Amino acid sequence: MLAVVATFAGAYGQNAVDVAIEMGLPWQPSPKLMPLLKLSDRDPAAAFAEVRRIYQGQDGVVERAEATLASYLLAKDFTTAAETFKLVTQPLARQSAMIAIVPRAFKRDPSGTRATIRDTLSGHDQSYAYWQIVMTQLKDSNWRGAIQTQMGIEDVHLRSQAILNIGLEVARADLGIALGWREQLTGDDQKHAHMHIRDALCEARDDAGLERLLALTPLTDDVKPGGYISWGREQMIMVIVLARLDRGDSAGIARLRDRLPANEQDLVDAMLISANETLPPADRIARLSELQSGPARSHGISRVVALEWEKDPEQTKAFVLALPEATFGEAFAVMARQWEDKRSLSEWIGRIGAGLKRERAISNFVMTLGWSRNEDEQALAHEAPVVRWPVVGV
């Protein structure tokens, strides 16, 4: 290992340990690579060919060896990136080399590194290199630089990844810059940015920031076949209301409500009703059922049941079972998600008296567990034992 690092040090004229740190490789180069590193100084193509000969059939080893050779060559001269990557046969080796070298090259020579990436690389390699610059700029809190670099990423998946990184980091640090960036984007890129800014603000429970974002958010989602990205107005409104409830800001909640359309005013009311623990849970659900907005009713009922389950699962089972048929199904679905032991849940369902409540509980149980990724839960759903059990009453 020291001999390999010494080879690196010779290329840099630096201390061997400094070079090892600067290379940033997550593995130790094999001693077999020492002569190949020297060979790559004279004939890079021959060095890569020898790697593939020595490690033939060992893809993981070839990948690490190619990454080490590529990193060594690029650390000496990043302008050879295009020629070097033509010699690399393993895609992950190219990515490993870029992770190790692009940030260091960019910090040493930002304009030269950009020029090399722009003028000599293309496709996925170019986008991946730009993404590494984005990550470097975010670590340095260079928000505007990261945004500018992201605009040059053409690969859809890497652009989405860069948007995620920028959205989460910049929203926490400077919401004004984040919102301005969001407005520069269009289509799904704008929705992705919006989603990650929203998530960062929701995690921080930044109600003032969320209200600023809400003012920029369309009232309706552009629903597309095959799935779409939601603007998430409901989520933002709920987090704003709950954050203000926690600190007793009733005036702030009222101001927000006044700015919203009727269906979203119902959502504010649903959060207020669900949080009013001076009322029994059944009474809160009765009041929620009077709201005109279906989504508001659903969110409110979900919150009541989840809060009550957290306090006392046994009492929650009793009050859910006692609900009218019109609201039982929705409340049961929430309770079933909270109920970890699905077999005991199936036994509880089996003791429900015959009627619409039992049918809805069975339907929800079988459908939900049938789609579960847990094989035991799938098997329990396929057994559907509850439909054969005698009714004994809860």
pLDDT for res 30: 62
In contact, 230 and 196? CB cutoff 8 Å: no
Interatomic CA distance for residues 293 and 237, integer angstroms: 14
Residue 101 lies in a domain: yes
Name the one residue in this structure whose structure tokens are 């957290």. 310
Report in angstroms the alpha-carbon separations of 313 from 280, 345, 392. Answer: 15, 12, 21
Residue 365 lies in a domain: no
pLDDT digits 0-9 by tens, 150-165: 999 999 999 999 999 9
Q: Residue length, the chain? A: 394
Angle at 84 between CA 64 and CA 108, to 5 degrees: 90
In contact, 116 and 130? CB cutoff 8 Å: no
Domain holding 56, by residue range, is 1-105
Report in angstroms the alpha-carbon separations of 71 from 106, 117, 143, 291. Answer: 14, 15, 27, 63
Give rounded-to-5 percent helix, strand, coil for the chain: 75, 0, 25
Q: For residue 258, with 0-12 CB atoms within 10 Å meaning exposed, 13-18 middle and 19 or more buried, which class applies?
A: exposed
Residue among 92, 86, 146, 148 at smallest CA distance from 121: 86
Residue 54 lies in a domain: yes
Residue 12 lies in a domain: yes
Q: What pTM did the predictor assign?
A: 0.81
- Long-range contacts from 390-394, C-beta under 8 angstroms, 24+ separation: 391/351, 391/352, 391/353, 391/354, 391/358, 392/351, 393/351, 393/353, 394/317, 394/321, 394/348, 394/351, 394/352, 394/353
Residue 5 lies in a domain: yes
pLDDT digits 0-9 by tens, 332-358: 999 999 999 988 998 899 889 889 999
Which regions of the chain are under pLDDT 50?
1-22, 26-27, 386-389, 391-394
* 171 membership: H or E segment, kind and range: helix 156-173
Residue 85 lies in a domain: yes
The count of domains in the chain is 1
Residue 98 lies in a domain: yes
Residue 7 lies in a domain: yes
In contact, 70 and 89? CB cutoff 8 Å: no
